[in-house]
Each structure stands twice: as C-alpha cells, then as structure tokens.
Amino acid sequence: MKKITIFKKKSNQSILIIILCVLVCFFFFQNRPNTNSQIDYSTDYTDYTSMAKLLNRYNIKFGTVINAQSMNQKNYKQLVKYHFNSLTAANEMKAYSMLSQSESQKSKDGMPVMNYTTADRIMQFAADNNIGVRGHVLVWDAYMSDWFFREGYQSNNAYVDRETMLKRVEYYITEVITHFETSFPGVIYCWDVVNEAVGDNSEEYNLLDVRHLRTLRSGTKNLFYEVIGDDYVELSFLYARNAVTKLGVDVKLFYNDYNTFQEEKCSAICELIKSVNTYQKEANGRYLKLCDGVGMQGYIGGYGEQEGCLESADIYRIQKAVGAYGALNVEVHITESAVRNYDKTEVSIKKHAKFYENLFDALIKNNQKNNGPITSISIWGLCDNESYAKGSYNYNLNSPYGGLFTQDYKVKEAFAKVNKLLSR
C-alpha cells in the first residue's frame, strides 16, 4: 500500500512538472521578439492622406532627401510626389559638386566656374511637381575642394589671401543663388548658407570664442576659417542676404548643424546666430537680420549601436533647443531627421513607432504653444536599408531600421502612427 502511495505521489509530481514546462514554453514563445520579416507591412502609402497636406494645416512643410541615383528610381519619386512638398539634394547642390576646377583655372576674371547640370535635374523634378527645395548648402568646410582656396585654383599652389578668398566666396554665393532663382524662380524657399560651423569639443575651437567656431574637423583645418578668418560665417550670411535682396525674392537664410539639441552646442549656436544677426547695422541704426533660421539636422539616438536610441529624454532635449532658437526670433527647420534604430525585433520596431509618434506629438504641440518656430520637417532616414554594412558610415548615421517605410516603400507602424496623429 505504502509503495503505491509513493508511486502515486511521484506520478502527480511528474504531471505538475510537465504542465509547468508547457506553461513556461508557451510564455517564452509568446513573448519572444519576432524578426520584422514576420511583421505585416501590407498597407500601401497611398492608403494614407498625404503628409504634406496634413502638416500644411500647421504651416509646416514635409521634406526628404533626393540624390542623382534616386532621380532614376520611379518608385522613390512616386512616394516623394505623394507625401512631400519639400526636397533637399543630398550632395548635388554642395560647392564641391558644382565647382569645376578645370573651368575655374581657365576663368578670365579669376572667379570660380560652376557646373549645374546634375543640380538642375533635381530642381527640374521639384519644379515640375510643385515641390519646394531647401537649398543645401553654400558654405561647408567638410568635403570641400581644397583647390578652391589656392592660387589659380591649382592643387599644389599656395593658399590665397583673405581678400581674394572673400571675393571668391561672395561671387560663388551670389552666382549660385542667382542661377537657381533665374532658372527655377520660386522653387528654392530657403538656403542653408553655412553648415556645421560650430565645433563639438574643445580641441575643435578657440576656447575664448563663445560661438565655438570650428577651426578643425577631425584634425583637418577648416579652410574657410583658416583663409578668411573668424568672421567667415557672418560674411557668408551678408553676401547671401545681399543676393536675395537684390533679386527681390523670398528665400529664407539658414544656419544648419548636427547635435543642435545638445546643451553646450545649442548655446554656442545661439551665440553664433546672435553674432550673425548683429553683424551689420543699417542706416536707421537697426541691425540687418542676416539669418532667418536654424536647421536642426536631427540624427537621434546612439551612433552605430542600439544603446542610446529611442530615449524619450531626447524628445525633451529637442523641444528645449527648439525653444532656445525660437527665442532668438528665428525659424526652425528639422532638416535631416533620422530616428535611429539598429534592431530588427518586433519590440524595437514598436518602440521606434511610439518614439516617432511622441516626437511629432511634442513638436506639433510645442509649436502651436510657441507661435510656431518650426516651419519645415525633413526626414533623411526615410526608408529602412538592410543592405548597409554593419559599421559603415551610412549604417552608423542613418541606421538600418530607422525608416518610416520599409526598403520597398511599405508603410511601417511609425508612419501609420504619425499619419494618424496628424489626421486628428
């Protein structure tokens, strides 16, 4: 009898253990992160109201980036036409893309010569589809052609003096603004006059300069600073202002940078804007407003890794910075936004969607409360891109799963949430 009881007890325990195992397995598989290949991306972007229309109700343009390659991608252009009313050329309107060294060397008056062929193709697409363009960018030390700063535009000659350089820069800025205004009147609604002139750490600027004007970039000299001097930003804005005034066009002039929502950098940028806007006194004794706005590039999250991504503290910091720039009586554009996400799990895709929704919610509410400093939002990391090689520049900068759309232009939850939020 005793034996039988023991056996019965043992068998009850075994059944209990089996049930427990089944339950544990059930919960494990239920909560296991899925890969996004199992997520349903069946909706099409045309099922949603155009984002440009929705944001127009808040007087905000919705933009993205285009480059020479995407000009050949029919699907990308369709998406752009449907949801966007602002475009930024990735590289095609930068000085290093448009300046021609061989033609400049032959120039009779010593002024540089530009080739607008590729930039004009992008402008034509925008003009044909009634899309505005953020001119990007007139003066940027990165990727800049070194020969532009040298005697006779020869790669091995000495650097020119300040006066010669100022003439070149003034000519370049005036010519470029005038070319696009004449060939495509009214298409460009703003120019990034200067990009990334504020340094990130104390090795990159003069410690006595409250503007933290960049003297170095990753060890390389900022040639605008080096050859012209520490007023090159103010002067570039003055030349651009003179050009748009002379043409009588409504083109806003912007200062554009990254990390604009980091406290220290934000303060330095504010100092720079103040300096630019108190640089030139008019006959009536008032300062001429040279800079109309700050472009906040908007790469958000950890660089190259998930740690530091999708943190709500960043939304708070962005709002705070928008407030600081708005208080200087300038507009704000979010110019190159990428909400970074490096993980392909369902959990992080959902977190990314929620982050995007919260970001837009905060930006819109804040904007309504503060008389709308934000007038344009552009997304740089628009589509996921699984082909970025881990650790590559694009992988780190844009992240593979930070898009509003999949790489074949299907709607992600992030887009659906933002669109729904704006449709209310």
Tell me the catalytic residues.
196, 336
Residue closer to ligand GLA by CB (options 7, 143) is 143
Minimum distance, C-beta of residue 196 to ligand GLA, in the bound complex (Å): 7
Residue closer to ligand GLA by CB (options 195, 341) is 195
Question: 129-168 mask for ligand GLA (x: CB under 6 A)?
Answer: -------x--------------------------------
Contact 290, 279 (CB under 8 A): yes
How far is 120 from 127, CA to CA, in rounded Å? 10
Contact 340, 301 (CB under 8 A): yes
Residue closer to ligand GLA by CB (options 232, 255) is 255
Question: 245-264 mask for ligand GLA (x: CB under 6 A)?
Answer: -------------x------
Minimum distance, C-beta of residue 297 to ligand GLA, in the bound complex (Å): 5
How far is 329 from 334, CA to CA, in rounded Å? 16
Contact 24, 45 (CB under 8 A): no
Minimum distance, C-beta of residue 30 to ligand GLA, in the bound complex (Å): 40
DSSP, residue by residue, 18-53: HHHHHHHHHHHHHHSPPBGGGS-----GGGS--HHH
Tell me which residues in 378-407 interact with ligand GLA (CB under 6 A).
397
Minimum distance, C-beta of residue 216 to ligand GLA, in the bound complex (Å): 17
Give the angle subtended at the CA of 187 by the CAs of 142 and 402, to the nearest 5°: 55
Minimum distance, C-beta of residue 161 to ligand GLA, in the bound complex (Å): 29
Close Cβ partners of 225 (under 8 Å, ≥ 6 residues apart): 141, 213, 214, 215, 232
Minimum distance, C-beta of residue 207 to ligand GLA, in the bound complex (Å): 25
181 Cα distance to chain centroid: 23
What DSSP state is assigned to residue 167? H
At 32, give phi and psi (nearest 5°).
-65, 130
Q: How many residues bind ligand GLA (CB under 6 A)?
A: 6
Hey, what are 78's tokens?
């369709």
In the list 86, 145, 195, 236, the residue contacting ligand GLA (rule: CB under 6 A) is 195
Close Cβ partners of 395 (under 8 Å, ≥ 6 residues apart): 304, 388, 389
At 7, give phi and psi (nearest 5°).
-60, -45
Residue closer to ligand GLA by CB (options 48, 140) is 140
Amino acid at 264: E
Minimum distance, C-beta of residue 248 to ligand GLA, in the bound complex (Å): 28
Minimum distance, C-beta of residue 91 to ligand GLA, in the bound complex (Å): 6
Residue closer to ligand GLA by CB (options 234, 336) is 336
How far is 287 from 252, CA to CA, in rounded Å? 17
Is 297 a binder of ligand GLA (CB under 6 A)?
A: yes
Q: Please give the C-alpha separations between residue 372 and each of 59, 121, 329, in angstroms, as whole numbers.
A: 8, 33, 11
Pairing assessment for the beta strands 113-114 and 99-100 based on DSSP bridges: antiparallel
Tell me which residues in 65-104 interact with ligand GLA (CB under 6 A).
none
Residue closer to ligand GLA by CB (options 197, 397) is 397
Burial classification of residue 99, based on how many CB atoms lie within 10 Å of its CB (0-12 exposed, 13-18 middle, 19 or more buried): buried
DSSP, residue by residue, 198-232: B-SSGGGB-TT-TT-BBSEETTEE-HHHHHT-TTH
Sites of contact with ligand GLA (CB under 6 A): 136, 195, 258, 297, 336, 397
